Amino acid sequence: MSHDVLDGFVSAQRYAEVQHFYAYQMGLLDDGDVAAWAATFTDDAVFEDATSEPLLGRVAIQTSVQARVDQLKAEGRQFRHWFGMVNVTERPDGGLDTSLYALAMSTPAGGALTVHGHVVCRDHLVPQAGGWLVRRRHVAPDGI
């Protein structure tokens, strides 16, 4: 099996774009700009996690996440989403399948950092004007 360990690796350009996209995307959310964050999803995007009903469409995603962000803001808590360990596979249709590790952490005003947990995120990305949008995100928290 070792001869094909690296089959299917994408170009450096694609790999850097995906890393950069995630830094950009999750920075928008952590900065509290939920509208701009939601704009990185397609109109018909689906957001799935292990503990609640799937969110169907960009509007539903934005509404749900805005509520969480408002709550964090009211608590004075700075949340951070750290993505890493990115795998990227090209799809025949021009899209990308990605999987990555993510750490969720936050710091209250004047307080200490808490690392809340680790999740595996799987995205289907579609090309859009030279960049990428999320068409489907599946988030699987460890331990659940």
Neighbours of 27 (CB within 10 A): 14
Rounded-to-integer distance, Cα 10 and Cα 40, Å = 22
Rounded-to-integer distance, Cα 58 and Cα 43, Å = 5
Closest separation between CB of residue 48 and a second copy, Å? 19
Site for a second copy in 49-88 (CB under 8 A): 78, 80, 82-88
- 120 to 139: interface string for a second copy, x by CB under 8 A: --------xxxxxx------
Determine if 7 is a binding residue for a second copy (CB under 8 A).
yes
118's tokens: 């680790």
Instruction: Give 18's contacts (C-beta < 8 A, 6+ positions apart).
Output: 86, 88, 96, 98, 125, 132
Q: Which helix (H) or strand (E) holds 17?
A: helix 12-30
Closest separation between CB of residue 110 and a second copy, Å? 6
# residues contacting a second copy (CB under 8 A): 63
Q: Which residues are near a second copy by CB under 8 A?
A: 1-7, 9-13, 15-17, 19-24, 26-27, 35-36, 39-40, 42, 78, 80, 82-88, 99-101, 103, 105-113, 115-118, 128-133, 142-144
